[in-house]
């Protein structure tokens, strides 16, 4: 049985649970907005199902709910944020305006976040940069779950990257958000919780053999998307989000799931580009031409269109929340 929640009620519920678990008003509000956005886009794996996990991690000390992000600007085009072992969301919020201002004045700027945690749907941060009128390229690393191609021991996480492309009118023309793995780890976690199998080609068990058992997959390793090419993409993300950010490498980070291991202290990197500065004013024209060539093909769609469609529907109809999940959230 499901209960229908409006987005305002959903956000308020998430915020209240996080505050009761030990998050500051600032942190709870930031994470609750992220939860709302995930559910609004139909991304269940990053939405309400994470609230009991966040609450558990606040109480056990895996994340510091009272952390105050510290922002520095060591160069005109460089912003660094120490998340203080707190949530990534308020840390990103703390440095965001400086990133945008630096990109507008310098033509390009980057912000790194370290001592951080899960940042939710990475594409939402890229979309936010695009809504500011800038081209946004984002990276976040995660605890190791992908082995090198040909190996068995995980070295990097699912390590997504995201691209947000401005439409010139205060929105995003398209958003690309994809991980180095064949599927997001949160999807396997969701299926393990629901007792469902996973698709072939998603993961390997501890021995390195392909598996469709979600529980065995969580004990083994994720399959990189596209084989060795996926591992290469994840390695690129690790270099930006961990090495460049001065954050903990995925191979050394405590897991995002479960109460053990302390703060993961992973990282993020965000690059914002003032498009006219580098394209001589031609970016918008070129983008329009490119997008039209994609949209003109029957069956093709711009990346992010499916999310946009879900957003319209869910804003109108609300979110169907399973009763057992709602009870877990309320009792967190």
Count of Cβ atoms closer than 10 Å to residue 212 Cβ: 16
What pLDDT is recorded for position 161?
97
What pLDDT is recorded for position 30?
98
Structure-token pair, residue 126:
């890229």
pLDDT tens per residue across span 80-121: 999 999 999 999 999 999 999 999 999 999 999 999 999 999
CATH for 1-60+305-332?
Answer: 1.10.1530.10
Q: What is the pTM of this model?
A: 0.94
DSSP code per residue over 164-216: EEE-SSSSEEEEEEE-SBSS-HHHHHHHHHHT----TTSEE-TTS-EE--HHH
Cα–Cα distance, 318 to 134 (Å, whole number): 31
What pLDDT is recorded for position 323?
95
Q: Look at strands 210-211 and 203-204 and give their pairing.
A: antiparallel
Under-50 pLDDT residues of the chain: none
Q: Which residues are catalytic?
A: 45-46, 187
Residue 140: closest CA among 165, 159, 115, 156:
159
What pLDDT is recorded for position 185?
81
């Amino acid at each position: 049985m499901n209960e229908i929640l409006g987005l305002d009620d959903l956000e308020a519920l998430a915020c209240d649970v996080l505050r009761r678990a030990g998050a500051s008003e600032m942190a709870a509000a930031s994470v609750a907005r992220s939860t709302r956005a995930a559910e609004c886009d139909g991304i269940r794996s990053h939405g309400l199902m994470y609230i009991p996990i966040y609450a558990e991690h606040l109480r056990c000390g895996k994340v510091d709910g009272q952390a105050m992000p510290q922002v520095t600007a060591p160069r005109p085009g460089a912003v660094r944020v120490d998340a203080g072992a707190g949530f990534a969301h308020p840390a990103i919020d703390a440095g965001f305006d400086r990133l945008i201002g630096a990109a507008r004045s310098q033509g390009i700027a980057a912000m790194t976040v370290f001592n951080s945690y899960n940042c939710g749907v990475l594409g939402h941060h890229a979309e936010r940069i695009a809504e500011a009128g800038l081209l946004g390229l984002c990276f976040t690393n995660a605890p190791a779950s992908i082995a090198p191609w040909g190996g068995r021991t995980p070295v990097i996480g699912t390590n997504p990257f995201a691209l947000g492309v401005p439409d010139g009118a205060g929105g995003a023309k398209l958003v690309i958000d994809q991980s180095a793995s064949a599927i997001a780890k949160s999807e396997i976690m969701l299926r393990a919780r629901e007792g469902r199998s996973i698709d072939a080609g998603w993961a390997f068990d501890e021995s390195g053999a392909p598996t469709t058992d979600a529980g065995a997959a969580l004990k083994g390793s994720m399959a990189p998307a596209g084989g060795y090419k996926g591992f290469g993409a994840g390695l690129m993300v690790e270099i930006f989000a961990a090495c460049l950010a001065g954050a903990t490498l995925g191979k050394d980070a405590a897991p995002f799931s479960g109460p053990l291991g302390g703060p993961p202290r992973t990282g993020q990197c965000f690059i914002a580009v003032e498009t006219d500065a580098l394209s001589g004013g031609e970016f918008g024209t070129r983008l329009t031409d490119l997008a039209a060539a994609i949209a003109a093909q029957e069956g093709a769609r711009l990346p992010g269109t499916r999310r946009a469609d879900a957003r319209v529907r869910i804003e109108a109809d609300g979110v169907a929340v399973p009763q057992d999940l709602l009870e877990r959230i309320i009792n967190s």
